[in-house]
Every structure is written in structure tokens, then in C-alpha cells.
Structure 1
Amino acid sequence: MIYKVYYQENPEEVPVRENTKSFYIEADSEREVRQKLKDRQINIEYIQLLEGKYLEYEKQQENFKLVE
């Protein structure tokens, strides 16, 4: 399954919507996504499962690239 992770780069600051970034990651569950990202110094705002038409739409975007 592919998840879209919305995050802030600085975990020490209060989240500001204009500073939210995102990337895509493959995992079997949201828990696995969090495990894979636990060593990164980011503030995860939201993890969204992508499937169906929404996944197809995201794949068409130029910034669609799976992160390891």
C-alpha cells in the first residue's frame, strides 16, 4: 500500500499549514510507516492511505516519488 505523509521539517516549531510538505512511502500499515520514519527529525501531521482513483491521480503528479 502507498501512503502520503504530510509533515513539518522542524519538529520543534508549531505546525503552520503553509510549511506543510509531503512525500509518498510504501508500507503495509500506518504503524509500519511510523516505524520507518521514527529516526527522521520531522513532525508528522497526517498519514493518508492512497488507493483507487486518488492513488492514480497522485501518480500522475510530477512530484510523485516513493521514499525509502
Structure 2
Amino acid sequence: MIFKVLYQPSAHIAPVRERTESIYVEAETEREVRSKLKDRDINIELIQALDDVHLAYEKKSEFFTIESV
């Protein structure tokens, strides 16, 4: 399953909407996504499982790449 992770690039700075970034991670569960990203200095805002329709939409973006973790 592919998860979209919305995050702030630093865990030490107050969250600001304009700095929110996203990555796509392949994992079985949300817990596995958090485990894969725990060594990064990021502030995770949301982890969203992508269904087939949403994934097809996200793939149309030029920025879509699945993060290898």
C-alpha cells in the first residue's frame, strides 16, 4: 500500500502550512511508515493511505516518487 505523508521539514520549528511537504512511502501499515521515518528530523502532520483512485490522481503529478526507505 502507498501512503502519502504530509510533514514539516524540521521537528524543531513551529508548523507553518506554507512549509508543509509531502512524500510517498510504500508500507503495510501507518505504524510501519512511522517506523521507517523515525530517524529523520521531520514533524509528521498526517499519514494518509491512498486508495486506487487517489493514487492514480497523485501519479499524475510531476513530483510523484515513492520514497525508498
What TM-score range do you get, normalising by the shorter chain? Answer: over 0.9
SS in 2 for 1:53: helix
- Runs of 5+ unmatched residues, structure 1: none
1:23 — aligned with what?
23
Q: Per-residue deviation at 1:60?
A: 1.2
Q: Does 1:54 align with 2:59?
A: no
Distance 1:6 1:49 in 2: 12
Q: Which runs of 4+ in 1 moved over 2 A?
A: none
For normalisation by structure 2, the TM-score amounts to 0.94
- Runs of 5+ unmatched residues, structure 2: none
Across the aligned residues of Structure 1 and Structure 2, the Cα RMSD in angstroms comes to 0.6
Q: Per-residue deviation at 1:14?
A: 1.1
Q: Does 1:5 align with 2:9?
A: no
Q: Any idea what the Cα deviations from partners look like across 1:47-66, whole Å, max 9, x if unmatched? A: 01111211100011111100
Distance 1:11 1:22 in 2: 15
Percent identity between matched residues is: 56
1:64 — aligned with what?
64
